[in-house]
Amino acid sequence: MAGKYLGENVGKLGFGFMRLPKKDAGFDLELINRMVDRFLEAGFTYFDTAYVYMGSEEAMRETLVKRHPRDKYTIASKLNMMNVMKSEDMQTVFETSLKRLGTDYLDYYLLHGLNAMTNKRCEELGAWDFVKKLKAEGKIKHYGFSYHDNPENLDAILTAHPDAEFVQLQINYLDWDSEDVKSRGVYEVARKHNKPIIIMEPLKGGLLADENSTVSKVLKKADPSASLASWAMRFVASLDGVFNVLSGMNSMEQMEDNINTFQNLKPLSDDEMKVIDEAVNVLKSIPRVPCTSCNYCVEQCPQKINIPALMNLYSNYLVYNSTANSEMAFMFATANRGKPSDCVSCKACEEQCPQHIEISDIINKMAPLYEK
């Protein structure tokens, strides 16, 4: 169940504090207490949060840090460059995380949501030197980064920063060979650089575990007794080099299901992989926006809208009929850029689009969906 990575014995299941159960206007701390206790009792230790997950660090302090000895678990939090205007802000953000968490050190600290653009900001503001300094001071034990971009840019970052100790990647069976996320490609780059891998979004925001989805029929027919989540978890947990799989659990049932999967972890057989292929084909047959991310439209937009990223998000919405699994991606796509509601319907983008996509119509449909 556990493997030794970065000198630490780490159980493969991680408890992500991004989608905590809610009660009234806040979090259901009593339920989270029980989930934390059960997780630790089952032998798992990795807890994940971030400065930008509103209220999450404080909830971790109340349910974990105040209630369990600090050496019985590990905490990962993240530095998001959206919260950093100047170099000095990094220290403030880090100390705020420590204070919210009620701890004086972090086991893992990640530069949050890197891509070519955010890494440029990290370079300009000295974020890599900052995390190195924190490690030398003993304030963090290990540093790495979470990543949302293509394999080529990951290769460039890892080549420039061989000291990064681990990477956190979005990998799930649907994104494995997808054109937009390219999970397989980024996984192979991380392996080439011998980096231990943490998996995020193994269930694509919970939707690969959605009983109402088209995937459900395929998987339940193949094995009525297996949970939908267990298929997705087994797919990612069996990959070489994976030391942790994050799950944003928000009920005791999800936690028990994951504990059962990870305590009895079995790689998918060849026959089971064929079932996964069938599920992926069903999902791929749902129509998508035919955007090829050529970027011809981007320069034309007076509102600086990241059009190709929004076209991909809208495709995702068409597949799942939900925005639940892409809220974070929307935040990254619109950081320092125009939002859908900024679109002035000038259609300058459409004149450039070789795919003849009705971009402004789609963007106008996205405003009420994503900017609720």
Q: 162 vs 354, which CB is nearer to ligand SF4? A: 354
Distance CA 104, CA 262 (A): 30
Site for ligand SF4 in 310-339 (CB under 6 A): 311
345 binds ligand SF4 (CB under 6 A): yes
Of 121, 153, 101, residue with least CA distance to 167? 153
Q: 78 vs 337, which CB is nearer to ligand SF4? A: 337
Instruction: Give, in degrees to the nearest 5, the angle at Cα 148 between 140 and 182.
Output: 130
Q: 64 vs 343, which CB is nearer to ligand SF4? A: 343
Q: 103 vs 150, which CB is nearer to ligand SF4? A: 150
Question: How many chain residues touch ligand SF4 (CB under 6 A)?
Answer: 29
The pair of three-digit structure tokens given for residue 202, joined into one six-digit string? 């193994």
> Least Å distance between CB 159 and ligand SF4?
27
198 binds ligand SF4 (CB under 6 A): no
Answer whether 334's CB lies under 8 Å from 317's CB. no
Look up residue 63 and give its DSSP letter: I
Site for ligand SF4 in 235-294 (CB under 6 A): 291-294
56's enclosing H/E stretch is helix 56-60
CA distances from 77 to 15, 56, 292, 341 (A): 12, 10, 34, 32
> Least Å distance between CB 366 and ligand SF4?
10
> Least Å distance between CB 323 and ligand SF4?
19
Region at 356 (left for phi over 0; alpha for psi -120 to 50; beta for the rest)? left
Taking the alpha carbons at both ends of the chain, their separation in whole angstroms is: 41
Which of 301, 328, 329, 333 forms a contact with ligand SF4 (CB under 6 A)? 301
Which of 98, 268, 352, 365 forms a contact with ligand SF4 (CB under 6 A)? 352
Q: 263 vs 364, which CB is nearer to ligand SF4? A: 364
Answer whether 181's CB lies under 8 Å from 174's CB. no
Which of 9, 260, 281, 295 forms a contact with ligand SF4 (CB under 6 A)? 295
The residues pairing with 140 across neighbouring beta strands, listed in sequence order, are 106
> Least Å distance between CB 116 and ligand SF4?
16
For ligand SF4, the binding residues (CB under 6 A) are 291-297, 300-303, 305, 307-308, 311, 343-349, 352-353, 355, 357, 359-360, 363
